Amino acid sequence: MSSAVGLSSQIDSAHRSFATRIADLGVAASLDSNARPSPGDLCLARVTRLGQHRHIELVTGRRAQLNVDDTVILAFGNRYATDQYEALVPPTLDSCHLVAAGGIASMAVTRHVDMKPPTVIQPLGILRDANGAVLNLSRWGWPGVGAPMSASSPPHMVVVAGASMNAGKTTLCANVIRTLRKCGLNVAALKLTGTGSGGDLWKYLDAGAIEAMDFGNVGLASTAGMEVPALDAAIGRLCAAVSPRADIIVAELADGILQRETSQLLQSSNLRARIGSLLFAGSDPLGTMAGVELLGRWGLDVSAVSGLLVTSPLAVREFSSHCNTPVIFDDDADPQAIAAHLFAPAIAQPVKKHAAQR
C-alpha cells in the first residue's frame, strides 16, 4: 500500500469521472494496489491503450480527450449494455477496461459487433482513507431509505420503460417533461437504473425538469447485477429526495424490459406500487406490441407508447392497426392534449394548488 505522499497531487492531476462526483476525495490518504475491487470502489488508473472510449465525462459534464498514460479516477462497476458492452467487476487489480465514458472500470466479457475493443486501463490502486477504509461511493449515498412520504399523496410517477437500449426512452422522458411543464407542473426526473453518466440528466434538465437525479446520487456506480431489495431502497431514497418540490415525477428504467433488473423491478418490487402511469418506448411495431403484451401479462397496463416507433408514420399506422394502446409524440397527435388526458388526475390537483397559491 502506497503512502499519502504525493497522492493528493496525483488525484489533482487525474481526470475525475462523472461517476465519482459525489465522493469527497479530500479524505483519500493511500492507494492500495493489492485490494480486491467491489462495485462502487474508487480507483486511480492509467490509460494504457485507447479503444472505443477516447473521451471521459468529467464531473462537470465536459468530455475530456484521453491519451495513453493519462490518469483517471474511476468507480468499479458492472455493465449491461446490449448495444455496447457486457462487463463485470474483475477479481483483481490487473489490467482491465474503461467500459463507459461516465467513468466505469470493469472487465468487458462481450461486446456488440459495432463496438471497438474497449479502452484498456491499468488500475494503480484503490483509494483508502486515513483509517484504511476503502473509498466506496456508498459512503456518500444518502443513508436509509429517505424520509417517509408526507400524509398528502406522493407525486404521481410516470415510469418510462422500453424494448431495448436506444429505443428512445430518454427522448420520450424529455418530451413528457416538456409537455408537463407546459401544463404548469413542477417535474422532477429520475434515472432509476443504468450505468453512471450525465448525458440523460442533462437532457432532463434541458427539457425543464426542476431537478434531475440518478442512482449515482445514492452511492451507486451502476445498477447491473444488483438485487431488488437494494434497488428498491435506492429508488425509495431518490423518490423521497425529489418529492417535496415535485408535482409529478418522470422516471426512466434503463435497457429493455427483458434485462434482469428491469424485469424484476417491474414484476416484483416496491416500484410497482409507485407507478402512476407506465409508458413504453419501442423501436418497431412488432417489438412495441410484444412489449405492451408482456407488460400486460405482468399485470401492468401501458398508458401509451412512443420511442423510435414514432419516427416512422408508417410504423405507427402498422402498430395502431393491431394494438389499441395510444401512441404519443407522433406527427398526427397533439402531445399536450394526449398527455393531459393520460395524466389528468395527476395534473388537476397540482394546477388547483398552484392557482390557490396565486
pLDDT confidence band for 345 (50 / 70 / 90)? low
pLDDT given for residue 335 in this prediction: 65
pLDDT confidence band for 152 (50 / 70 / 90)? low
Is the model's pLDDT at 207 over the cut of 90? yes
* 273 in any annotated domain: yes
* 144 in any annotated domain: no
Mean pLDDT of 116-130: 97
pLDDT given for residue 196 in this prediction: 87
Q: How many domains does the chain have?
A: 2
Do 210 and 332 sit in the same domain of this protein? yes
pLDDT given for residue 5 in this prediction: 54
Do 213 and 258 sit in the same domain of this protein? yes
- Per-residue CA distances from 138 to 83, 144, 253, 276 (Å): 28, 11, 21, 29
Helices 335-342 and 344-357, packing angle to 10 deg: 90
Is the model's pLDDT at 324 over the cut of 90? yes
- Provide DSSP, 212-229: EEEGGGGT-SB-TT--HH
Do 202 and 296 sit in the same domain of this protein? yes
pLDDT given for residue 87 in this prediction: 97
Do 204 and 337 sit in the same domain of this protein? yes
Do 264 and 340 sit in the same domain of this protein? yes
Residues 239-274 pLDDT 10s: 999 989 999 999 999 999 999 999 999 998 899 999
Do 129 and 216 sit in the same domain of this protein? no
pLDDT confidence band for 358 (50 / 70 / 90)? very low
Q: Are 52 and 115 in contact (CB under 8 A)?
A: yes
* 151 in any annotated domain: no
Is the model's pLDDT at 205 over the cut of 70? yes
Do 309 and 164 sit in the same domain of this protein? yes
* 1 in any annotated domain: no
* 287 in any annotated domain: yes
Q: Which phi and psi angles does 307 have, rounded to 5°?
A: 95, -160
Do 29 and 119 sit in the same domain of this protein? yes
Contacts of residue 295, Cβ cutoff 8 Å, sequence gap at least 6: 161, 257, 266, 278, 280, 301, 302
State how beta strands 187-191 and 119-128 pair. unpaired
* 228 in any annotated domain: yes
pLDDT confidence band for 148 (50 / 70 / 90)? very low
* 15 in any annotated domain: yes
Q: Which domain CATH number covers 305?
A: 3.40.50.300
Lookup: cell for 289: 406490441
Do 181 and 101 sit in the same domain of this protein? no
pLDDT confidence band for 6 (50 / 70 / 90)? confident
Do 106 and 47 sit in the same domain of this protein? yes
* 146 in any annotated domain: no
Mean pLDDT of 286-300: 97
Do 111 and 205 sit in the same domain of this protein? no
- Global pTM value: 0.91
- Per-residue CA distances from 212 to 11, 23, 200, 350 (Å): 28, 18, 9, 20
Give the percent of the chain with pLDDT over 90: 83
| Domain extent at residue 326 | 156-357
pLDDT given for residue 235 in this prediction: 94
Mean pLDDT of 178-201: 93
Do 96 and 234 sit in the same domain of this protein? no
